[in-house]
Amino acid sequence: MAKLRLLKTGHGDLCLAEWDPNRPETIDGAATAFAENFTAGRLAFRLDGPGQTRPIREFDAAAPEILLVPAIQGG
């Protein structure tokens, strides 16, 4: 099962959705969770394995894992 996770600053992460690319009925819920949680101030990354991460801007059902993270703020 593929996963959509939200990184929570200082609190680990939260699994928002799981889907199976071979079961289309599981994808819509994950796509909706992505759309609801990919808000301004957050970045999304497709995680394909160690050292194989790339930014994304829309839900990718073929991704083995997607991580949403708050944007880094500095001052």
> Whole-model pTM above 0.75?
yes
Segment 60-65 shows an average pLDDT of 97
pLDDT of the residue at 74: 65
As a whole number of angstroms, the distance between CA 9 and CA 69 comes to: 8
Taking the C-alpha atoms of residue 28 and residue 31, their distance in angstroms, rounded to an integer, is 5
pLDDT for res 11: 78
DSSP string over the chain: -EEEEEE-TTS-EEEEEEE-TT-GGGHHHHHHHHHHH--TTEEEEEE-STT-EEEESS--TT-SEEEEEEPP---
Token duo for residue 50: 């160690």
List pLDDT tens digits, range 18-59.
Answer: 999 999 999 999 999 999 999 998 999 999 989 899 999 999
